[in-house]
Amino acid sequence: MSKAFTKETETDADVEDDIPALPAGVKNYITPDGLRRLEADFAELQKVERPKIVETVAWAAGNGDRSENGDYIYGKRRLREIDRRLRFLRKRMEIAEVVDPARQKNHERVFFGATVTYLNERDEEKTVRIVGIDEARSEFHEISWISPVAKALLKAGEGDSVEVRTPKGIERLEILKILY
User: In terms of domains, do 134 and 94 share one?
Assistant: no
User: In terms of domains, do 133 and 161 share one?
Assistant: yes
Q: What is the pLDDT of residues 98-116, one digit of tens each?
A: 999 989 888 899 999 999 9
User: Which of 98, 126, 156 marks a domain boundary?
Assistant: 98
Looking at the domain assignment, is residue 21 inside a domain? Answer: no
Provide the domain limits for residue 53. Answer: 26-98
Percent of the chain at pLDDT above 70? 88
Q: What is the pLDDT of residues 19-64, one digit of tens each?
A: 566 777 788 999 999 999 999 999 999 999 999 999 999 988 888 7
User: In terms of domains, do 53 and 122 share one?
Assistant: no
User: Which of 70, 98, 126 marks a domain boundary?
Assistant: 98
Between the alpha carbon of residue 127 and those of residues 2, 93, 123, 165, the distances in Å are 55, 28, 13, 18
Looking at the domain assignment, is residue 15 inside a domain? Answer: no
SS3 at position 143: strand
Quote the pLDDT of residue 130: 97
